[in-house]
Amino acid sequence: MQQRTIGNVPVSAVGLGGMPMSIEGRPDEKQAIATIHAALDAGVTLIDTADAYHLPGQNEVGHNEELIAKAVRSYGGDASRVIIATKGGHLRPQEGPWAQNGDPAYLKEAAKASARRLGVEAIDLYQYHRPDPQVPYAESVGALAELLDEGVIRMAGISNANVDQIKEAHEVLSGRLASVQNQFSPKFRSSEPELVLCAEMGIAFLPWSPLGGISSAPDLGSLHDEFAAVAQTHDVSPQVVALAWELAKADVVIPIPGASRPESIRDSASAPELELAPEELHRLDSVPLSSR
């Protein structure tokens, strides 16, 4: 598969988002591991997870991290180039809205717990999951700087950040901000200013829910006619067109579609092979707001 970079580390142009394999509606472990192995077989070398990817409640914190670690360990091929990115600062203590905890001391302990679950001495990429309105942003990101200095993590990223927060994190981390993970898809395009800024700064931009989210992804073609039409032209799925469109936005873009079936990630992994013509990209960029 084509390669892009996070920091100075090469990764596959399309990654795998682990969340669907651990939250409500998740598959059994056998199918989840088969999905991860299918991703690795397809050349995926970036897997994204978080300690909050679990069913609501405290007894499952880190479920997805442990699942991914188990799958990578049991893979029969070469997994030496696989980068596992995880996140901290988001919580699912109970049913309902997720919570935030951006306390620096908490984030540092959460990162160390994630490293233990992943079975690594240092986390490849650790991301502050979502800003906590109760904690100054610079203080939360400062914990990532300390984790870098202490060797607990190799690279630092942020998620669900706006333009000002990206600039602030870049400054707090003394230029060591490696990635920004924001929602971006045909359905959700309001993170385009953050994508453009990351391209200007040379920071990896990782679209989460790049196909519109777990509930909407299967219906992407029916929800977005232009993507379906372009897909028919190339004899591929609308989902592949969406990922190819995102990849064409900038060389820093690395979509991380979630999957819970081997067939889904195999399809997504083919997206870097699809080169859309300039007129097709313009057509997709020009979809009226009412259709998004």
Catalytic residue list: 53
- Nearest to 42, CA basis, from 17, 65, 12, 86: 12
Instruction: Indicate the residue type of 81.
Output: R
- Nearest to 180, CA basis, from 245, 109, 131: 131
258: phi then psi, degrees, rounded to nearest 5 = -75, 155
Burial-class residue 105 by CB neighbours within 10 Å (0-12, 13-18, 19+): exposed
